Structure 1
Amino acid sequence: MSKRKLGSSELYISEISLGGMSLGKDIGKAKSIIDRAIDAGINYVDTADLYDFGMNEQIVGEAIKGRREEIILGTKVGNHFTPGKEGWSWDPSKTHIKRGVKDSLQRLGTDYIDLYQLHGGTIDDPIEEAIEAFEELRKEGYIREYGISSIRPNVIKEYVEKSNIVSVMMQYNALDRRPEEEILDLLEQHDISVLARGPLAKGMLSSKGETIVNKKAEEGFLEYSYEEVLSLVKKWQDYKSDSRTLTALALQYVLHHSAVASAVFGASSLEQLEDNLSYFRSEPITEQIFGEIQAMTNPITYQKHK
């Protein structure tokens, strides 16, 4: 599989990668999905301490035993919670970040994290303090690189200016083109990569799109009404061909911009995983098709900057 350099780091990650949030709580099932992904050439696996309140990290940790050196492992921090209790609170403090990494390392069963990410953020956070924590963890060898997971332009710009982040994880797909307007070019100029989450728009850009629109977008999607989403998804179906699946097209769309290092998809079954793996077998996207997709979708912008 083709790999792309993660920002200014020495890490090279697969163009499509596996997000752990949808893996579920069955270790056997999760391991079969992760094993198949690695065997297919995927080398980046992403999780977070907040997913199932630590259980997802434990599941991923168990699933990668014996294969840790074959993958680049990413997780996230910033949400304070107590395992076994409901609810959480935002905590980007240095104390929490440095405590959180040790908890994650224990759950993951590893002694280092390749990419440690701040899981959110606002302009009112103690940003310099958070950066200091990540820099110290890198020097101490607990993490190799760090990034943020955010869709707030003003927050992203603060980290671009003040930190050594190598990546920003954000939602990006053909229906959510917000990163194109304010973020992608900026990050590329600073040698910072994008990890595009949600590339299939909840599955609406897959072959089952119309069914999923009726289940997950009854009240619309972002600035699109239900009717607009349904109309777009029907048009999207016209691009299916013997040489390219719709899922592959969705992944190709976000990977078209060179700022994007990887499209991070979720999979709760081997069937879903195989659908995403069709990316490898599909004919590449053309400039004409890319332009047609942009013409039929809206270049919406971010409303929450802070």
Structure 2
Amino acid sequence: MKKRQLGKSDLFVSEIGLGCMSLPSDQQDAEKIIQVALAQGINYFDTADLYDNGENEKIVGKALKNNRESIILATKVGNRMNESGDGWSWDPSKKWIRAAVHESLKRLQTDYIDVYQLHGGTMEDDADEVIDTMEALKKEGLIRAYGISSIRPNVINRFLTKSKAVSVMMQYSLLDRRPEEWLPLLEEHQVSLLSRGTLAKGLLTAEGLNRANKTGEYLGYSKEELLKTLEQLQSLGAPIAAVAQQHVLEQKAAASMIIGASSAEQLIETVKAYNTEVSKDVLLKAREITKQDVYVEHRV
């Protein structure tokens, strides 16, 4: 599997990264998927302290501890679980980030995190404090690089302007093209896109029409529009999942698609689609078929 440089860092990540949030909660079942990922050349694994109240980090850490030097491990911070464990609040303070990073390191069974991401963000945050904290963690060797996971352009713009972030994780797919307006901003700062939702909750797979009939509307698509769009995409003569992946990878800012899998078979299908060649003409037609919406809120 091809790798791409993450921002201006010395990290090179596989074009597919495993989104670990959807891993089974059983250690053995999760490890089967992770081993398939490693065998397929995936080296980027993405989790968060929030997922399953830290249990996901434990599963990922245990599964990858023997491969630590050959993989890129990413997690996130900022969502603070309540003491009762039944909810969380937003806390991007220096005190919380410093406490949370050590807890994540313990759960992940590692001495350092490759990519530490702010898990959201608002314009009310003390961005300077967040960035200073991230830079301090880098100097201390606890993290190698940092980024932000957000879909708020104003928050992203401020973060990139003030920081040495290497990545922005955003929901981006053929059915959610809102980030395209802001991709030049990432290129300007030499920051990489980590796309999530590349397959749009399975809508951009062979099962997409069945899923659409059950789920109905999706973002700016009514159910009728969604079904029509998926039918057109599936008639292009290339597997829809392959078209969806290649569309993202064609973006200059893109480094990796963070795709989840709840079974080894699902992950193998994703990699199979990744390895399928898609012509430029098909990609052009796919873009003509889909909407190019923009973010209405949180604009710069």
Which residue number in structure 1 is paired with residue 224 of structure 2? 227
Report the Cα distance in structure 2 between the residues aligned to 1:279 and 1:144, rounded to whole angstroms: 31
Which residue number in structure 2 is paired with residue 115 of structure 1? 115
Say if 1:21 and 1:266, in contact at 8 Å, map to a contact too: yes
Which structure 1 segments of 5+ residues have no match?
Answer: none
2:288 is aligned with 1:295: yes
Report the Cα distance in structure 2 between the residues aligned to 1:142 and 1:54, rounded to whole angstroms: 18
Instruction: Provide, for residues 143-189 of structure 1, a one-character-per-residue CA deviation record: whole Å limited to 9, x for no partner.
Output: 000000001000010011100100000000000001112x1111012
CA shift, 1:280, in A, is 4.5
Q: 1:84 to 1:66 in 2, by over 3 A?
A: farther
CA shift, 1:255, in A, is 0.7
Question: Letter of the aligned partner of 2:204 in structure 1?
Answer: L
CA shift, 1:231, in A, is 1.0
Report the Cα distance in structure 2 between the residues aligned to 1:24 and 1:156, rounded to whole angstroms: 31
Which residue number in structure 2 is paired with residue 281 of structure 1? 275
Say if 1:53 and 1:83, in contact at 8 Å, map to a contact too: no
CA shift, 1:295, in A, is 0.9
From 254, 257, 273, give the equivalent of 1:263: 257
Mapping for residues 204-215 of structure 1, pairs under 5 Å: 204-215=203-214
Instruction: Provide, for residues 213-265 of structure 1, a one-character-per-residue CA deviation record: whole Å limited to 9, x for no partner.
Output: 1233x2x1111111111111111211354xxx322221111111110001110
Instruction: Provide, for residues 77-135 of structure 1, a one-character-per-residue CA deviation record: whole Å limited to 9, x for no partner.
Output: 00011476200000011111111100100111111000000000011111111111101
CA shift, 1:212, in A, is 1.2
Say if 1:19 and 1:45, in contact at 8 Å, map to a contact too: yes
Query: Which secondary structure does the structure 2 equivalent of 1:66 belong to?
Result: helix
Question: Letter of the aligned partner of 2:218 in structure 1?
Answer: F
Query: Which secondary structure does the structure 2 equivalent of 1:261 belong to?
Result: strand
Query: Which secondary structure does the structure 1 equivalent of 2:65 belong to?
Result: coil
Query: Which secondary structure does the structure 2 equivalent of 1:76 belong to?
Result: strand
Identity of matched residues, % = 52
Report the Cα distance in structure 1 between the residues aligned to 2:276 and 2:77, rounded to whole angstroms: 36
Report the Cα distance in structure 2 between the residues aligned to 1:252 and 1:105, rounded to whole angstroms: 34
User: Across the two proteins, how many residue pairs are aligned to each other?
Assistant: 299
Query: Which secondary structure does the structure 1 equivalent of 2:100 belong to?
Result: helix
CA RMSD of aligned residues (A): 1.3
Say if 1:247 and 1:278, in contact at 8 Å, map to a contact too: no
Question: Letter of the aligned partner of 1:290 in structure 2?
Answer: L
Query: Which secondary structure does the structure 2 equivalent of 1:199 belong to?
Result: coil
Mapping for residues 130-279 of structure 1, pairs under 5 Å: 130-181=130-181, 183-216=182-215, 218=216, 220-241=217-238, 245-279=239-273
Question: Letter of the aligned partner of 1:146 in structure 2?
Answer: Y
Say if 1:247 and 1:275, in contact at 8 Å, map to a contact too: no
Q: Normalized against structure 2, the TM-score is what?
A: 0.97
Report the Cα distance in structure 2 between the residues aligned to 1:93 and 1:124, rounded to whole angstroms: 12
Which structure 2 segments of 5+ residues have no match?
Answer: none
Mapping for residues 72-87 of structure 1, pairs under 5 Å: 72-82=72-82, 85-87=85-87
Mapping for residues 3-18 of structure 1, pairs under 5 Å: 3-18=3-18
Query: Which secondary structure does the structure 1 equivalent of 2:97 belong to?
Result: helix
Say if 2:245 and 2:274, in contact at 8 Å, map to a contact too: no
CA shift, 1:70, in A, is 1.8
Say if 1:4 and 1:15, in contact at 8 Å, map to a contact too: yes
Say if 1:205 and 1:233, in contact at 8 Å, map to a contact too: yes
Q: Could you list the structure 1 runs, at least 4 aligned residues long, displaced by more than 3 angstroms after superposition.
A: none
